[in-house]
Structure formats: C-alpha cells, structure tokens
Amino acid sequence: MVDLLNKKRESRLTIVLHLLVWSIMLLLPFLTAKDSPRQLNDYFRMWLPPVASAVIFYGNYLYFIPNLFFNKRTSLFLAGNLVLYVAVIFIMESIRVSAFPASPDGRGPNTIEMITRIAITFVMTTGVAVAIRITGAWFKSETQRKELERERVQTELANLKNQLNPHFFFNTLNTIYGLIPQQPDSAQQAVHRLSKLMRYHLYESNEQFVPLEQEIKFIHNYIDLMQFRLTPAVSVTCKFPEHTNGIQVAPLLFITLIENSFKHGINLHKPSSIDMVMDITNNKTIVFQIRNTSFPSKESAEPASGIGIENLKKKVVAFVSG
C-alpha cells in the first residue's frame, strides 16, 4: 500500500514538472520578444516552435525511447525519429506558408536555414528526452535494488533467527540433561531459568532491535543457567555496563560468542576460566571481549561445526546494513 501511494505521488510530481516546464517554454517567446504581439497570427507564430518541440519530446519520451531505444533497437529508433522530424517540419512549413505569408517587401528567413535550425532543435529535444528517460530509469532501478536489498536483509535475518534458536536450545537442553541425574533441584531451577530465556526468544527476538539493557539481562540469565553445571575448577567473571544510554542492538547478537566460550573454553575437571567485559565508548560503540582458556570439544571437528560463528558474522552484516 505504501509503495502504491509513493508511485502515485511520483506520478503526480512528474505531471506537475512537465506542466511547469512546458508552460515556461510557451511563455518564453513572449518574454524574450522585442515587440509585443499585435495580432492572433503573431501568437500562433511564436507558439509553433515550442509546440513542435513538445511533439518531438513526447513522441520520444512516451514511445520511441521505452519501446525502441531501451530495447536496443537503435536503427528503428533513428529511423522513427527521422520520419517524425520530416513530418513535423513539413506540417510546420505548411502552416507557416499558409498562415503567415511573407512580408510585402519579400524579406523573410531562408527556408533551408530555418529547416536546419529546426532540425538541430529537434535533435537537442530528443537528447533531452533520452537523458530524462535514462535518469528516471536509473532512479527506478536504484529504488528497486534498494528494496530488494532490504527484503534480502530481512529474509536473511529471519533465516538466521530460525537457525540460531534451535542451536541455542540444543546447547541449553544438554546442560539441563547433565544436571538431572546428579542435581535434580538444580535442574528444576535451570528449567525455570530456561523459561525466562524462552520468553525472551519468543517475545523479544522477533523485534528488529531491542534495548541493550534487555540483552544484558538475557546474557545474565544464560550465564546463571550455565553455572549450574560448573565445578569449582571453573571461574566465570563478567562485567557489563550499568547504564546503556538507550542503545539498541539486534537481539541475540552476543549469545554465540558466549556459547562458544562455555563450549570450547572450559574443562569441568581442570582449572579453566571465562572472563567477559562489555564497555560502551563515548561514541556509543559497544566493545565486547571474552577471554577464556582453550579446551576444544570433539564436536569442533564435525562438519556442522562453526555454524554459530558464521551466523553471527552474517547477522552483524545484516544488522549494520539494516
């Protein structure tokens, strides 16, 4: 509906511009004439060249250019213009001879010279029509390209969310699965925290942007959930800004990095650590750093490995493009 309204506005604007330009063209002979017209024939004589130029312009603008020039039928385009020039010049000369007789002293413009000037004017008019049509086609193509790019970004974001949600829940359910046989109470609390994460996924992650403050709360909930399966050998520290200054980000932008730090950075039986720090610079740039020990999992050698990082890269590009 919005696109239809925009097209109607553009069409109205084009009509107004054309009326304005040709109104000026019709008034220009009177504004530049040395003597004001005295008879009706004088008006017709002054209007004849602009009207003829308008015929050449719209013949090209409405038919020759879109149907011949843009379809690379150059020979037909040139031949059609030649026929149009001859026809208009013949009609103009017929009107001039019959309606505007020569002066009593026989003085008047040379016919060949006049036809040459008219032909040059027609060529220039055709060039203007081609330039306007090409410019309009470029703007239309550019608008369509941007619209397709916007739709591509939105589709890619939707696809990334569809890929990210199962990936995230798969890791989280594995954590709860490991808690059930040894710490059933902790598993119950973990399910409760998972419900909070699911609520965020269902009601917040579908938005294009979310407040950074909500994203930080989501990260805290995730870290608290992961703490259930850690041992004293693992140290996890995190520092997030207390004030986010109203900054908004794409939802679930940081979770892939955090998931990977738990997946590949710790060993429950060996000393290991994860250190997360998020800062906001003066120009509202978010700097998020994670330092962790390295204990690559066996899954890293599997073909599906690395999906999360690739999705993160695509999501950041889509977020910046949007």
Find out whether 245 and 281 touch, Cβ atoms under 8 Å.
no
Compute, in degrees rounded to 10, the torsion defined by CA atoms 216, 219, 223, 225.
120
Number of separate domains in the chain: 2
Q: Domain for residue 115, yes or no?
A: no
Q: Domain for residue 147, yes or no?
A: no
- The one-character DSSP state at 287 is E
Q: Domain for residue 144, yes or no?
A: no
Handedness of CA 176, 178, 184, 189 (dihedral sign): negative
Q: Is 295 found in the same domain as 227?
A: yes
3-state DSSP assignment of residue 120: helix
Q: Which residues contact 49 (CB under 8 A, 6 or more apart)?
A: 29, 92, 118, 121
Q: Is 181 found in the same domain as 55?
A: no
- In this predicted model, what pLDDT tens digit does every residue of 177-197 receive, in sequence order? 877 887 788 778 888 888 887
Residue 253: the pLDDT is 82
Which whole-number Å values give the CA distances from 15 to 2, 49, 54, 259, in the listed order?
20, 22, 14, 58
Which of 85, 27, 15 lies closest to 52, judged by CA? 85
CATH number at residue 164: 3.30.565
Q: How many CB atoms lie within 10 A of CB 76?
A: 13
- In this predicted model, what pLDDT tens digit does every residue of 281-293 receive, in sequence order? 887 888 999 999 9
Alpha-carbon distance 154 to 226, whole Å?
Answer: 31
Q: Is 99 found in the same domain as 167?
A: no
Q: Domain for residue 126, yes or no?
A: no
Residue 20: the pLDDT is 64
**Helices and strands (H and E) in the chain: how many:** 8, 5
Q: Is 266 left (phi over 0), alpha (psi -120 to 50) or beta?
A: beta
Could you tell me the mean pLDDT of each successive run of 10 residues in the chain, 322 residues long? 49 63 59 52 68 86 90 91 90 74 55 80 88 84 81 64 61 77 80 82 75 90 82 91 87 84 86 93 87 74 50 57 52
Q: Which structural domain, as residue segments, surrounds residue 76?
A: 2-108
Residue 18: the pLDDT is 63
Q: Domain for residue 209, yes or no?
A: yes
Residue 276: the pLDDT is 95
Q: Is 164 found in the same domain as 93?
A: no
**Model pTM?**
0.47
Alpha-carbon distance 5 to 33, whole Å?
Answer: 43
Find out whether 46 and 33 touch, Cβ atoms under 8 Å.
yes
3-state DSSP assignment of residue 237: strand
